[in-house]
Amino acid sequence: MNAEDFGKWMNQSAPLKLQESYDNSGWILQQRSQYSAALCCLDVNEAIIAEAKAKGCDIVVCHHPLIFKGVKRIGTTTTQERALISAIKAEIDIYACHTNLDNVLKNGVNQEIGKRLGLKEMQILVPRSGELRKLATYVPLSHFEQVRSALFEAGAGTIGEYSDCSFSWVGEGTFKPEAGATPFSGEINTLSVATEKRLEVLVPVWKVAEVMRALRGSHPYEEIAYEVLVLDNTNADTGSGLIGEFETRVSLAEFMERVKAAFGNSALRYSGKLDKSINKVAVCGGSGAFLIPAAESAGADVYLTGDIKYHDWFDAPSSLALVDCGHYESEQYTPNLLAEIIQKKFPTFAVFIAETNTNPVKYF
Ligand SMILES: [Zn+2]
């Protein structure tokens, strides 16, 4: 697999533009131009690099970036330093999909958690805004289908669970080709009146360049009239956390049994009464205490996440039960997601899911 193609595909599936400002997703180590096999994991440490080497993998695709804050020296003191040195020595590249994978609904970290709990009607808990654009363009009737299909193909026109969404209507366009122009129709220095369709599609900001390339490649005009408009709409497909519902209500105790079965916990930290009735469930993989207020305002009965600190439990509203299943446990299926993303585009490429358990926290 070509490294450039891999990077492009990962950026399409979990766009780097979706990562939080503090994050460091994307290439962590980039030494090779070709890969023969990938190892997908949650954290990178020396044991993971050794596993990659043993399995013949030359790239490790992880969730938590090995380099997160500024690295001022590389010695052999920390897990991070040792992992970096062994990856460089073994010529194993590292690519991270972190908050950019947390922040997508489809095939994202939280949808995976929701699916494993059996949640329905899953939606982003705090949708992002300001990242949708509307592309409007004017197309002669003869080329309308060609242009519309090309835009859909390039990723325009998706709204939630619907693809190929567009709006169009017929109108009249005028133009006068000046000397030097090579018009698709009409005569030089003569006013032309053409029947055209105005076509409108939504495009997420990270797909605008590709969609514009598709427009230029499919539109017959020498000079294409178009507008890219910034929308203030929220994007139902991207944002933090997730909220979903159970088909039938369960008690908090039953809910926690499900969590234990799905994530393999021997014990859970929780607040609330065991017989509390649960229908709406908010979830966020990893450290999600920052979404406690959002879970409450969305009307969740329980909020499942990891890394809840002592004082967060005090601050939580009484209407909301909290369940902490552990950071590692909540994200342990993320390597499977990473593997699925790669296999979808490169079905014959060898992809392994790490067998090394990197959770430093143990329960006694
Ligand atoms: Zn995490």
Q: Taking residues 140-154, report their average pLDDT.
A: 97
Calpha distance 236→299 (Å, rounded): 18
pTM score, whole prediction:
0.86
CA of residue 50 to ligand 1 center, whole Å: 22
Phi, psi of 63 (to 5 degrees): -90, -50
CA of residue 281 to ligand 1 center, whole Å: 20
Residue 107 has a pLDDT of 87
Calpha distance 55→58 (Å, rounded): 9
Residue 19 reports pLDDT greater than 90: yes
CA of residue 119 to ligand 1 center, whole Å: 21
Q: Taking residues 232-250, report their average pLDDT.
A: 94
Residue 70 has a pLDDT of 86
**Strands 350-353 vs 37-41: parallel, antiparallel or unpaired:** parallel
Q: Taking residues 230-254, report their average pLDDT.
A: 95
Residue 297 reports pLDDT greater than 90: yes
Residue 198 reports pLDDT greater than 90: yes
CA of residue 331 to ligand 1 center, whole Å: 6
How wide is the angle at C-alpha 37 spanned by C-alphas 6 and 35, nearest 5°? Answer: 50
Residue 43 reports pLDDT greater than 90: yes
**Strands 234-251 vs 277-287: parallel, antiparallel or unpaired:** antiparallel
CA of residue 136 to ligand 1 center, whole Å: 39
Residue 340 reports pLDDT greater than 90: yes
CA of residue 329 to ligand 1 center, whole Å: 10
Q: Taking residues 191-202, report their average pLDDT.
A: 96
Q: Taking residues 71-89, report their average pLDDT.
A: 93
**pLDDT, the chain, mean:** 95
Q: Taking residues 267-289, report their average pLDDT.
A: 96
CA of residue 254 to ligand 1 center, whole Å: 26
Calpha distance 251→364 (Å, rounded): 27
What single DSSP character describes residue 50?
A: H
Residue of 134, 135, 141 whose CA lies nearest to 197? 141
Calpha distance 16→313 (Å, rounded): 33
CA of residue 216 to ligand 1 center, whole Å: 40
CA of residue 102 to ligand 1 center, whole Å: 9
CA of residue 286 to ligand 1 center, whole Å: 4
CA of residue 188 to ligand 1 center, whole Å: 62
Residue 133 has a pLDDT of 97
106 pLDDT band, cuts 50/70/90, is confident
Residue 331 has a pLDDT of 96
93 pLDDT band, cuts 50/70/90, is very high
Residue 160 reports pLDDT greater than 90: no
CA of residue 105 to ligand 1 center, whole Å: 16
Residue 364 reports pLDDT greater than 90: no
